Each structure stands twice: as structure tokens, then as C-alpha cells.
Chains A and B, each alone.
Chain A
Amino acid sequence: MKPAVALLASACLALAGSVAVRAELLQPANARAQVNDVAVLQGLPQNLSDFGFFENQTEQQPGQGVTPYRLNTPLYSDGAEKLRFVYLPGGAAMKAQGEGLLDIPVGGALIKTFAFDQNGGRRLIETRVLLHRADGWLALPYVWNDEQTEARLAIAGARVDVTTPGGEAISYRVPNKNQCKECHGLGGAVTPIGPKARNLSREWLGKMVASAHLDAVPDGSDQLPIWEMRQSADLADAARGYLDVNCAHCHQPNATASNSGLDLRWEQKSPDAIGIGKRPVAAGRGAGGHMFDIVPGSPDTSILTYRMASAEPGVAMPELGKSTVDDDGLDIVRRWIAQMRP
């Protein structure tokens, strides 16, 4: 539906509402905040509110055409709570591409807000938006003010003091615009990472189909374990799912760490490519004195786990997007390596 038509439609509904006795029942679905499609498609909007993604921005209540979602296995970001949304302009639908990324049309957007608990409440730190424009995807970071009323464009990134859920006081890094691309770059272009069908629930995908926001629930969806249920999931699935989500955006061909030759994508089946018996290339002191990325049966001498267990720049992996060690992720990957037969 073209925006002009959508406007007309909502005007008609508003008119109808003025004479309808139970008009308020129509309100929630049809009078929610309209997203500013021009802001999605051009310019560098200075404020998050310029997009109009939210009915109530501080409460993170989505506006019209904005749908929340979660990933089965999420990216670790210093323990931040993450609120994810996909925006589809009026009438537009995503297309499934097998187990991979959902194809979001031009004019669509992904929105992710990072928050930490503070003084018993939720403190919003930053909101990252990925805008699908005519010339490709654009990633922009917005940093929230102390009053929690607005988030402003921080093109050079920022640092914010926070306390993680584990009680660690850290200098949390908001990435700059280029750093967004370091993770979101594939073949030189910016691309979404998260919403792959294999990492989304069938239930959510089904709802998106039912609401005409998606063409079909593809085969291969919902494969990655739900992170909170990882203890009862297949260990290899949990570990490979974790590595896919946390590492493979760089460690795959045509991405930022392609020169390492390490490919940690879920679909990569070659033991060499995922690091088993693979020697380091440009790891420097990141190798930690170890000879191979993964030594079957020996997480203590594997480079992969050595780097995951470090918080020191130059050693720590991932290089961006976190400054603390993800103990839960490390535990899963260590156990997976430990049970491999040498």
C-alpha cells in the first residue's frame, strides 16, 4: 500500500471513528504512530524520534508496522537486554530465503535497543537502526540521553559507564558507523545479520505470514536452539549456533575476518574450516601460545576458547560489540570442544 493511500485509509477510519460509538476499539490497530518513511529512506536523522518507530519511545512501545521479535540464540553484548523490532512500510512484506536472512524490502528497517538494569529500572543505552535504502543498507547508532526521552545520532560512537547483570562496572562501547559495518559488512556492502529463518521461531514466522508481513515460513527455520534452553539442547547445536551468531558475521568468506580462513557459519561442515586443527594466521598474541584454533578434547589449549575468555583488546574475540567475557557462551563452546574425540 502506498503511504498516500495508507494516509487516506487512516483518515477514513478516523472519520468513521468520530461517528462510531465504540471508536476506541479501533484505536490500537489503526491510530498508532506512523513511521516517517522519508527518514527511513534518506538523510541522517539526528534523533531516533525522527523515524517515529515507536508509539512510546521511552517505553519502547512499537508504532504502526513495527513488530518485535527475538532470536533463538542472540549475540552477546555485555549482557545487555536487547529489544528487537522489524519495520515494514505499509503493505510491504518480507520474503523468506530458505534458512537464511529474511529479505526485507527497501523502505524497511531493523531496530535494536540495548538496555541495562539500573536502580531497579530499565536504562536504555543505545538504539541501532539498519535502514534499507534504495542504494543499500545503512547502519546508524543512536545514544540515549540521561532523561531517557530521546536518543541522538552518535556517528563516531560513544562510551557509556554501565554495570552489567553480572555486577561488573564497565565502559560500554557504542560502535561508530564504520564499526557497524565491520560486523554487518559482506562483500563490501552492509547487510543485516540477525533475522535468519534458522534463528527465528516458527511461531513468530507463522504470525508474520498470517499478518501478510512474510510470504512463507521456509524450510530450515527454527533450527538454532533457544539459548535459555541450551542445557537440554544438542551440545553441538548449541555451540555451533552460538558461534554462528557471535562470530560468523566476520569469520566467513567475504566478511571482515575472511583473511583468517576461519569460517564459523552454521552451514559450514568442514572440520578444517571451523578451526579443528587449524593453525593461526594473523592472530599475533591472540594465539596465546596455542597451536590450533580448536584442539579436539582440549578447550584449555584451543585458541578459540582462549580468545573468547579474554577481555583484552588485541586478544579478545569478538573484537567489537563487547568488552566482557560471555561466561555462558564460553562454557558451551568449552564443553563442545571437550567432548570432541582427539
Chain B
Amino acid sequence: MTIRLPLAAALLACAMPAFAATHNVAPGEDAQKALQEALILAEPGDEIVLAAGRYTVTDGLSLDVDNVTVRGAGMDGTVLDFTGQQGSGEGLLVTSDNVTMRDFALENPKGDGIKSKGADNIVYHRIRVTWTRGPHAENGAYGIYPVESTGVLIDGVKVTGASDAGIYVGQSNGITVRNSIAEANVAGIEIENSRNALVEHNVATRNTGGILVFDLPALPVMGGGNVIVANNLVVANDTPNFAPPGNIVASVRRGTGILIMANDKVLIENNILSRNPTAPIIVIAYTQSFDDERYNPLPRDVVIGENLYDGGGYDPQLDGAEMLLGAFGGELPPVLWDGLGSVTAVEDTSGWSLNLTEVGKGLDAARPGPLTVAAPTGEFDRNGIGAPAELDDRLGA
């Protein structure tokens, strides 16, 4: 008998969401509470509108309602200031599907900026995450951080100062990162243990490494691949690595442009690569020891297409750099491969190889020499790469 009442209530509730509501939040003393309440009480279809201004936020925010839009008055107009954050591992956590976040900024979150986990078909549009003191080991790890999600569109965001990756997509599928700026992070843009990712029309500058595509062992989702890195401006990634040791990005050499490690089917083309002093492009196997039979540490079917190289590795952060520079006439050729796995490159691609023959044995066996790889055969299969097209519909106005 008592069971019937909530059922009736649930039926009524199901009939109602046709009336999508707008929850307006403005800066002020109780803004944080009002914002968090709106994030909790929103119904699917609702929009939460953050008026322009600066919001002081002392605790992590979170959203767990499907199909909600959070909209600010522009990435320079609506600023959520987490400088005094006292708890939580990120500024904003999203755990629901079909969420759109747009036109606002987060500053100085203690941990990550916006993390979305298991949040399918998510859109990040014109979001800014900034650690205002610039590169610092105690900044948060990731600015934009979708993980374990299917359908991720990141468009027009800007991240500065992340001590790991500015824009990080992990263990996900169906991803587009475009029109975004990653500046002065350890890794600008990182695609990790993910499939079907399109990284295009971005600017990666002043990071330690510009754009990284990784696959790591011992994670719930592995087998990264089907990735296109195209039409990006990857320039002057020369900030000394400021990542806390222990993390994989702490091993990224200052001056890395685009780094591919242990992935399957990756296309790198039409990028402009300039002043990345260690190497504009690096393709390598996973370098550390691992104990995971499911994991393939090799880069496979990596295709290096036409790219514009304005010079190569003129100040490489590599062991034996002076000797290498001497051997290659003062500057290393733009593409560095460790010799493991399989790589093709368009004709006239200038590069060098370590000519390693075994995975995980370090560089002792390296016999550096010019890159000699075959040209790509056939068209790169672009099928299914990128975020679902319908996510574009949420970018209007």
C-alpha cells in the first residue's frame, strides 16, 4: 500500500520534464550554495545560467543529472575561483550523461579542474581552466578531464598551468578535441588509453610536450588507437617539465611537439611544428616495465603524413645530446622513432631512429641512425573517428 504512493509520484514526475527550467545563479555571498543546489535540483533538460562575475568556491561542485546545460557569460566573464578550495579532488565533477558546459572559467582548483567520469556525450565548449601562477608543481593535475566516457566533444577551451595535462581524455571512445588552446602545462593535450580520437585545429604552446597520445598498462581500459592528430599549431613547447615525479608525464622531455607512445593506428598530418627543441615528433614504445598480458607496448601502424616542420631538435633534452647534435650536423631531424613497432612516413620525411630491437631495455642498445621507413600505403581509415556528429548541435550561440 505504501509502495504505491511513490510509484504514482514517479509517474507524475516522468510526465513533467517537458517544461525545462532555467536556474539563474549570480555572484554573491550564497552563490556557491545556490550553484550547488541548482546542480542537484536540476531536472533533465534544465539549464543552469551563471551570471557574469567572480564566484568564490571553497568546495568541489558536482553534477549528477543527465541532459543539463551549465552556461556562463563567457570564459572571461564568469569565473569560478577555487583559490580557497578546502576539499574535493576537483573543481567540478560531472557523473551524468548528455551534459553541456560552456562559457565559464575555473581558476586555481586544488586538484583537477573539471572531471567528468562515466559521463557519455559530454560537451565542453569555451571553458577556461587557469592556474594563475603559471607552471608550478603544486598546481592541479588536469584542467579538462573526461574519463571512462563514450562521446566527448571539447571545443574552444583554454587551459594554462596544469601540472599534468591541460586537456586530458582518458579511457574513452569517440572523442574530438579542437579549436582549443593548451598553454604552459606539462602536457598540452593528452589522449590516453582511448580510441577514435580526433585532435585538430588546436594550439599547443609553451607546454613541456604539446600533444601526447599514450596507452598505459594495468588500466581498466587499454588498447588505445584510431587517433588523428591533424592541423594543429604545435609551437615553442619549451617549458621545463614541472610534473611531480612518478607520473608518466614527468618523463616527457622538455621540447616535445607530438608524442605517440604504444598506440594502434595513429595519423599525424598537416600540423605546423616549430621550436620544439627536443623533437617535433616522437614515436616510441612504452618505456617502463609492466606485468599485464593484455597490454601491447608497441606503436603500431603510426602514419606520419605531410607536416610543416620549421626545424627539428635543436636543443634536445636527451642523453648524449652533444654527441647526437654533432653526428647530425648541429640539429636533430624532426622525427624521432625508437625503432620499435611499425611506422610509415610520407616521402622526404626527415627523421632519425634509435634502432632499438627490444621493448623496455632502455637506451643502452640504441644505435642512432637516419630514419628509413616505408611510405604509407592506401588511405588512413577515418571511419568512426571523432565525437558523434550530433554533439555539434549543442555548440550554437
Interface residues, chain A, with chain B CB atoms under 8 Å away: 2-4, 37-38, 41-43, 89, 106-107, 133-135, 155-157, 159, 171, 173, 176-179, 181-182, 185, 188, 253, 256, 258-259, 261, 272, 277-291, 303, 312-314, 319-320, 323
Contact = CB atoms under 8 A, between A and B. Distances in A.
Nearest to B136: A285
Contact of B141 (A3, A181, A272, A282): A282
Nearest to B216: A281
A312 B37 CA distance: 25
B39 A178 contact: yes
Given A41-B6, A156-B36, A181-B95, A280 B246 contact: yes
B140 interface: yes
A287 B247 contact: yes
A250 B112 CA distance: 17
A181 B218 CA distance: 26
B98 interface: no
Contacts of A159: 58-59, 86
A69 B112 CA distance: 37
Given A42-B9, A188-B118, A280-B247, A313 B85 contact: yes
A14 to B, nearest CB: 22
A285 B2 CA distance: 51
B93 interface: yes
* Among B6, B58, B164: residue with most chain A CB under 10 A: B6
Given A284-B142, A323-B87, A258 B40 contact: no
Contacts of A289: 244-246
Nearest to B62: A178
B5 to A, nearest CB: 6
A38 B10 CA distance: 14
A279 B250 CA distance: 12
B254 interface: no
Interface of B: 1-3, 5-7, 9-10, 32-33, 36-37, 39-41, 58-60, 62-64, 85-89, 93, 95, 109-112, 117-118, 137-142, 145, 147-148, 163-164, 168, 170-171, 216, 218-221, 243-248, 288, 291-292
Contact of B36 (A157, A256, A278, A288): A157
Given A3-B1, A41-B6, A176-B36, A259 B219 contact: yes
Nearest to B245: A289
26 contacts: A3-B1, A41-B6, A133-B6, A134-B3, A135-B6, A135-B10, A155-B41, A182-B93, A259-B117, A259-B221, A261-B218, A272-B218, A280-B246, A280-B247, A281-B219, A282-B168, A283-B246, A284-B141, A285-B138, A285-B141, A287-B245, A291-B245, A313-B88, A314-B112, A319-B88, A320-B87
A178 B68 CA distance: 15
A3 B39 CA distance: 36
Contacts of A135: 6, 10
A313 to B, nearest CB: 4
Contact of B89 (A272, A290, A303, A314): A314
A8 to B, nearest CB: 13
A171 B86 contact: yes
A176 B62 contact: yes
B95 A185 contact: yes
Contacts of A280: 246-247
A303 B3 contact: no
Given A106-B3, A259-B221, A272-B292, 16 more contacts: A2-B1, A3-B1, A41-B5, A89-B2, A156-B32, A159-B59, A173-B86, A173-B87, A178-B64, A188-B95, A256-B117, A261-B218, A261-B220, A284-B140, A313-B86, A314-B140
For the complex of A and B, list the 9 residue pairs with the smallest distance between their C-beta atoms, beginning with the closest. A284-B141, A287-B246, A314-B111, A178-B62, A313-B110, A156-B36, A319-B89, A314-B110, A42-B6
A253 B88 CA distance: 21
Question: Do most interface residues of chain A lie in helix, strand or loop, or is the interface mixed?
Answer: loop
Nearest to B148: A259
Contacts of B63: 178
A319 B109 CA distance: 14
Contacts of B117: 256, 259
A185 to B, nearest CB: 7
Contacts of A3: 1-2
Nearest to B164: A284
Which of A182, A272, A312 gathers the greatest number of chain B CB atoms within 10 Å?
A: A182
Most chain B beta-carbon neighbours within 10 Å: one of A41, A179, A282, A303: A282
B111 A176 contact: no
A43 B13 CA distance: 11
Contacts of A320: 87-88
A277 B288 CA distance: 12
A51 to B, nearest CB: 14
A179 B41 CA distance: 14
A310 to B, nearest CB: 11
Contacts of B6: 41-42, 133-135
B2 A37 contact: yes
B87 A282 contact: no
A188 B2 CA distance: 26
A176 B87 contact: no
Contacts of B245: 287, 289-291
A39 to B, nearest CB: 11
A280 B218 CA distance: 10
A272 B292 CA distance: 10
Contacts of B87: 173, 313, 319-320, 323
Contacts of B36: 156-157, 176
Contacts of A272: 218, 291-292
B112 A284 contact: yes
Contacts of A279: 216, 218, 246, 248, 288
Contacts of A291: 245-246
Contacts of A284: 111-112, 140-142, 163-164, 243-244, 247
Nearest to A278: B218
Nearest to B9: A42
A285 B36 CA distance: 27
A6 B221 CA distance: 52
Nearest to A170: B86
B121 to A, nearest CB: 15
